[in-house]
Structure 1
Amino acid sequence: MTLRNILIYRDSLLAPSETFIRSQAEGMRFYRAYYAGSKRNAGIPLDPERVTVLNEGGAGGRLRELLFKATGFGFPLESKFRKMDFRLLHAHFGPDGVLAAPIARRLRIPLIVTFHGYDATVKDEHARKSYYTHRQYIRKRAHLQRSAAVFIAVSDFIRGKLIEQGYPADKIVRHYIGVDTELFKPDPELARPRENIVLFVGRLVEVKGAAYLIRAMNEVQRQMPDAELVVIGDGPLRAELEAMAAGMLRKYRFLGTQPPDVVRRWMNRAKVFSVPSVPTPTGAEEAFGISFIEAASMRLPVASFRTGGITEAVSHGETGLLAAPHDWLELAGGISRLLSDEALWRRMSARSRERACESFDLKEQNQKLERIYHSVLAGNTSQATGYQLMPSRIDA
């Protein structure tokens, strides 16, 4: 079977937090992914034979990057891209969609753009104070809305945000990225029984709500002194949060950024997963939270807030307990229940794994994405955005 070539665009290839892009692209059955961007990021390894970047260092590389971002010209379209016979271009994040649009237009291939979160939630007045690419995105958003074939929203919450911004509803499809449920699979030999650990995995930024979790854990430890908070991740608020924990908590650890296998081991040990994300004044909000599905796949129930796309990732009362936004006392109550009520924990633990496999398995979600691709290539975008699935066999 001949695989169809597609081009994945991400301005920086690829940040450590963006493993989901590689997992999705490399999990295709009928398409071979190549990657393009302005520059490489050492975070995630990619096959160098399938990567094209403009800025490989030095003044010349920086100049090529700036020229491309300002004019849309600069990629080796004639010399390389045309020979690859790319069938479509898939850009990740809205600003990257604007950057990729001239490439798709000159290659005469359809453009698909996935919106992952901040690109759909952050208010324009705050985005304008950010990077040049964000300001450019705001200026050219209306053109992107007209020119792209399909927009993929990672949750119904993000789909609603895109419609509020003027994106045509009939060009938007909600598609969950999915998790490798065989990789994120509990190992009973590593943790028997589970420990009274509450695990946080994420960037230490305001939107992730770690300060609320520390307050909640202070309340939990009043009743359960052996309960421990383990924080995996880094960010600009780390020093402030560590100081806060030192003044409020008996048992806690800040482990910084950790490789995926270490994260999985902690998910295998912990009894509760908690990333209590909150809306911020900039508009930033949790789009979905793939880490919630990773935890669920590891049979790890969640305690969090009812905000953004979390209500799609976590089924309240079934796979976790969701508190009112900012209510750290209610959050503490949910954590305490999961730590102390063994019957409740076992029920939610089992259902978490079942739901992850039923609704968010990476292989199944990739098959759905390939059907979206196939519908777009067949010129049937209404079928792609109507959640209707094409036949499983895709001819080259």
Structure 2
Amino acid sequence: MDLDSFFVSVERLKNSQLNNLPLIIGGKSNRGVVSSCSYEARAFGVKSAMPMRMAKMLCPHAVVLSGDMESYSQHSHLVTEIIRDNVPLFEKASIDEFYVDLTGMDRFYGCHKWAIELRQKIMQESGLPISFGLSVNKLIAKMGTNEGKPNGAIRVPQGEEKAFISPLNVGKIPMVGQKTYQTLSAMGVRTINTLQQIPVPLLEREFGRSGRVLHEKSHAIDRSEVIPYSEQKSASKERTFQQDTIDVDYLRAKLVSMTEDLAYDLRKQQKLTACVTVKIRYSDFNTVSRQMRIPYTSHEDTLIRTAKGIFEQLYDRRVLVRLIGIRFSHLVRGNFQIDLFEDNTKTLKLHQAKDLLRNKYGEQVVRRAVSMSKPRM
């Protein structure tokens, strides 16, 4: 199940005058990026992650909004609670996407009928449009949902999965990004039907281990299970020093280092935080902490700036420090760069490149210089 143009739908729920208008959500400046857009804007070629300047050129009469993550998270939580009250097993894949396991339902009520009623209940109680795809595995269910949008429902019966995806463009396979798509296109592979006919060794030669996965997905094979949803409430890091210190620059450096690591962990887990807490324990074991609410984000620049601001307010005794800690709370799922509304595309690419390096070579491969400071003797 996938909420249609989720951010756009929430904005229209708050302001009905936006209905049927081309709507773009993202950084309002020309250096910003598009976070989401309505189907009316997509008709002009606008799409997510596009530079705002280009989006405005393609659709100059569009309404542009900065976005409201607090509101989006509240509506996502509402839909999650509706599903939780009606479904024994579900996975929340992102802020607006859910996998529901209906195993066994066909023997009692009928999966399709039950899914239709759940969809109607969500729309009635939340006011938000939602689409679903019903099939035997997560891959075909997701692809079915995408084909059913906007505000639709598609059922792919068992045994018809391969025939359903065969005529589709290879770019509609979830794992196929721009680079993979370009390589497949250069090979003359445009449709999934053509991809199905390519031998596995050839795909492995071109794409490595991903080649076999690509082969399986083109044949509608997906063994991944629905992961039961449980919401992590917080994430934290602490550093207890071997020797108590009063070196403020060193304390700031450790705080930046821990915040940088935690922010990366959030993005890796596709989570966002709305509350930052800094904790200090002095040499006499007196412990103090202070927190600050912020718009939902996983952007390390924002989180580091917030953490340092809290530290400056909190550290006022100017005595030896034994421990310093950082905690992110009020976590929600989110797999978009929805916190980068006002960032330019250059900054966005920089952060993506840093995360790619960390994913490939480890968290410590690229760090801010300030986080590597050593205590002064």
Give 1 or 2 for the bigger CA radius of gyration.
2
**TM-score in same-fold range (> 0.5):** no
| TM-score (norm. length: structure 1) | 0.28
